[in-house]
Amino acid sequence: MKQTVEELAERYRDNLFAVAFHVCKNAADADDIVQETFLQYYVAKKEFDSEAHIRAWLIRVAVNKAKNVNRSFWRQHKVPLEEYMESLVFETQKEETLFETVMKLPQKYRIIIHLYYYEDYSVREIGEILSLKESNVKVRLSRGRKLLKEALKEDWDDDE
């Protein structure tokens, strides 16, 4: 199956933005990555089994592109995270603290935490998307949760 970019963008542009942002921590770069990810879909000669397959593929591409941006010598968007955060609207201080705390996690924990808690992927599915063994995903998820618990204390449940 193949869906139009417009249909997919309607549903997933914000999800891809959040995924990219978790890796590169920069809104302008994340926007570029969303654009490039949909372009990659547009030009890809690839058959998809289902919408879930497309969604996972888009997320994988966005993560890879964001990692590439992080490695790039030519990174041009350098607005600090703190500056961007001033433009975000949080309903409560706790939400802002959670956001900040996640952003301080190492990137390898951050993206797994996001795929688990925001995108509702299982450990197995996260492993498939990130090309990691399930055992690696479990370890990173566990360490990420532990760091969140240490930082957020009663504002984060011990859900292991």
Partner 1 sequence: MTNKERYKKAFQTLHASEQISLEGKIMEERKKIYRMKKVAAACAAVAIVFGSMTVAYAADIGGIQQKITAWFHGEQTQMDITDNGNGSYTYTFTDKNGKEQSQTGGGVEIDDNGNERRLSAEDLLDSVSNCVQADEDGTIWLYFYDKKVNVTDLFDEDGICKIALEHEGEIYYFKIQESPESAITGSYGYERSPEAPQDVENYPLVK
Which residues between 92 and 111 bind partner 1 (CB under 8 A)?
Answer: 94-96, 98-99, 102
| Among residues 1, 43, 47, 78, the one that binds partner 1 under rule CB under 8 A | 43
159 binds partner 1 per the rule CB under 8 A: yes
118 close to 55: Cβ distance less than 8 angstroms: no
Q: Concatenated DSSP letters for 94-138?
A: HHHHHHHHHHHS-HHHHHHHHHHHTS---HHHHHHHHT--HHHHH
Candidates 47-55, 56-64, 104-112, 133-141: pick the segment binding partner 1 (CB under 8 A): 56-64
Candidates 47-55, 87-95, 104-112, 135-143: pick the segment binding partner 1 (CB under 8 A): 87-95
- C-alpha span between 129 and 57 (Å, rounded): 7
Ramachandran region, residue 101 (left: φ > 0; alpha: ψ -120 to 50; beta: rest) = alpha
Q: Site residues (CB under 8 A) for partner 1?
A: 4-6, 9, 13-14, 16-18, 21, 27, 29-32, 34-40, 42-46, 57, 60-65, 68-69, 72-76, 88-91, 94-96, 98-99, 102, 113-114, 117-118, 120, 155-157, 159
